[in-house]
Structure 1
Amino acid sequence: MKRIFALLTVGLLISCSSSGPPPADEVAIRSSTATRSTALTATTMGAGVAAELERRYRDTRDDCGAASKPAFLCSGIILRGTEASTSFDAWNPSPTSVTSGGVSFTYLRSDYKVKRLAYTYDSGFIFHPILSNPPGKLFIEIMCFFPVDGDSNGRLNGGCGAHKEHPTISMSCEEQNPIIDTAAKWGNKYRADGNARARSMCSFNVRDSVNTAAAPRFLEGMRAGRLISPDAFNTPNDMKLKTWAQNIPAQLPIEAFFYTKSTGLAKAQFYQRRFRDLTRVTIPIIYIPLPQTLEQSATFTFHAADQTQ
């Protein structure tokens, strides 16, 4: 899967005037107008982000136009549940992620629903999909996908490989003997492994290097989750992204902060405020109540009152 990312250089033209300072009352009017304009722009942007998330959530395509472009590159929601703390920034990889080389995210889509996030987190952040990554932001590789939580913190190879407790039966799906390359085969192994399944299941390798195998593997991974319903609804999936460096918030492709319950709003506001303090950029907070039955769907709402000043 060979993707070429173009770098866009934007020129900013700044004009200035030497006609002298305007009267004080004109300054006050301009200031008031600018404040209202800024608030309106922020609200419009936040509503636009919510609409875009809703659009991607409803986009159930099989791939992004080629076998080398799995669906997560352009559809669905890639989010990470986190906890607010003054000791570390939520977007920094945890010590476990630094050691393993992989960071866990959850993938949401209207045809792949989950009722909760890992550890019952109720707040966190969302990454832009790679094919719509903003200029100047890092492209962070998605390495593998577990249809349900695969206890990836106890695994090798970025959290995608063999589990330390079952090293001979938990390798990546293409390393299994026989190879697991369909949803049916994955589901059969999942059911056969019984109580050990979280540590013995295999992940679907969707790295850039697997090229035209990436999209079919991710599609089979999603189909595998549906085959074991409602397990994949009750227990969140695990999408492993390659670990990035610490303390680089301005370089990360964060599209939004979010909360799923009222208890998560203050945490999302903490992330928003901290991110703005570090980068001078305000990322919108989006309310995403998760479905509690398979008949329901997630929703994406921007509330101006949720945003910090």
Structure 2
Amino acid sequence: MKRILVLLMAGLLISCSSSGPPPTEVAVDSPTAARSAPLAAATTGTEVAAELERRYRDTRDDCGAASKPAFLCSGIILRGTEASTSFDAWNPSPISVANGGVSFTYLRSDYKVKRLAYTYDSGFIFHPILSNPPGKLFVEILCFFPVDGDSNGRSDGGCGAHKEYPTTSRSCEEQSPVIDTAAKWQAKYIASGNARAKSMCSFNVRDSTNTASAPRFLEGMRAGRLISPDAFNTPNDMKLKTWAQNIPLQLPIEAFFYTKPTGLAGAQFYQQRFRALTGITVPIISIPLPQTLEQSATFTYRVADQTL
């Protein structure tokens, strides 16, 4: 996968900033839009909303090879955050600096969640690695918990053993016997009772796992479905490698978002602060999350939401 990423860094021409006069409101939730080819350059807020919808509806098993897990090209990788004048939302927290991993949530139409961690209602979205814009940091995805795995209490980027269950909570491939299928993960989850969050294992999907990465992520997605509605009611935890502080211009931020009206002010704060630091206006996208398994998330760009 590393060789592929090197080639992509030279060839991709995607930008995350918004420009040009967009329409007043565009909601993109049609199956036709979801089946269309990837946008060559999502530069306006309208195009960003369309691209997010396309990826949300893209339910592929991998990105063309066993070494290219689905999150490299499909789904939405987002982080719920809190607006504050004391810190920038895109900077890793002290816990993330200490353990080496930052928590994100993975959204896709076949892997729905009704809320974000800590009930956050705003945050930011990263470009998937296979469409990372030129000059932006490639942030490695380390592991995936089908539901919240209390990763702040774990070692190894938040992917390893939990301090309270040092043996039973190790990464899935380190379990004895190895947990390499959704059914095995489900069985361990059920057997752990009230200790599920702290004793569950994560699916290691690091670049170094090569051809094991895509199958592992797929089994992780399947495991979440097996414990429905738990994985809908409690958000999953995708751990990304901690990046340096105060490098907003290098981060692959595709959009800021809010999930409820109460989150709009936070998203606007991020947009203003990011523009002040970088000179780039990243669009704000409204993403109401489904409240039932029959519903889906929608992606809407509104001019009135922007702090232009």
Superposition TM-score, scaled by structure 2 size: 0.89
Which residue of 2 is the match for residue 191 of structure 1?
A: 190
**Cα distance in 2, alignment partners of residues 160 and 221 from structure 1:** 13
Q: How does 1:138-153 map onto structure 2 within 5 Å? A: 138-153=137-152
Instruction: Tell me the equivalent position of 2:297.
Output: 298
What is the aligned partner in structure 2 of residue 110 from structure 1?
A: 109
Residues 192-231 of structure 1: matches in 2 within 5 Å?
A: 192-231=191-230
Q: Which amino acid aligns with 1:39?
A: P
Q: Deviations along 1:188-228, whole A, 9 cap, x unmatched?
A: 00000000010000000000000000000000000000000
Consecutive aligned runs of 4 or more in structure 1 exceeding 3 Å deviation: 1-4, 6-10, 37-44
Query: Which amino acid counterpart does residue 96 of structure 2 have in structure 1?
Result: S
1:51 & 1:40 partners in 2: Cα distance? Answer: 13
* Aligned pairs for 1:49-128 within 5 A: 49-128=48-127
Report SS of the residue matched to 2:240: strand
On the 8 A contact 2:122/2:267 being kept in 1, the answer is: yes
Q: How many residues align?
A: 283
Q: Is the 8 A contact 1:83 1:267 kept in 2?
A: yes
Matched, 1:39 2:44: no
**How far did residue 9 of structure 1 move?**
8.9
Q: CA deviation at 1:41?
A: 9.4
SS at match of 2:231: helix
- Greater per-residue strand proportion: 2
Displacement, 1:298?
0.3
Which residue pairs with 2:32 in the alignment?
none
CA drift at 1:3: 3.5
Larger Rg, first or second structure (1 or 2): 1
Give the % identical residues.
Answer: 83
- Aligned partners of 2:198, 2:161: CA distance in 1, in Å? 9
Determine the structure 2 residue equivalent to 1:16.
none
Deviations 1:154-196 (A, max 9, x none): 0010000000000010000000000000000000000000000
1:8 CA drift (Å): 3.6
Q: CA contact under 8 A between 1:2 and 1:211: conserved in structure 2?
A: no
Name the CA distance, whole Å, in 1 between partners of 2:115 and 2:83: 18
Indicate how the Cα distance of structure 1 residues 193 and 40 shifts in structure 2: closer, same or farther if over 3 A, else same: closer
Taking a change above 3 Å as real, the CA distance of residues 42 and 253 of structure 1, as seen in their structure-2 partners, is farther
- Render the CA deviation track for 1:280-301: whole Å, top value 9, x for unaligned: 0000000000000000000000
CA distance in 2, matches of 1:123, 1:187: 31
Query: Which residue pairs with 2:158 in the alignment?
Result: 159
Check whether the contact 2:24–2:302 (CA below 8 A) recurs between aligned residues.
no
Aligned 8 A contact 2:22 2:303 in 1: no
1:92 & 1:172 partners in 2: Cα distance? 26
Secondary structure of the structure 2 residue equivalent to 1:302: strand
Evaluate the alpha carbon distance shift between residue 159 and residue 42 of structure 1 in structure 2; reply closer, same or farther with a 3 A threshold: farther
CA distance in 1, matches of 2:212, 2:263: 38
* RMSD (Å) for aligned C-alpha atoms: 1.6
Q: In the alignment, which residue of structure 2 is the partner of 1:307?
A: 306
C-alpha distance in structure 1 between counterparts of 2:197 and 2:20, whole Å: 48
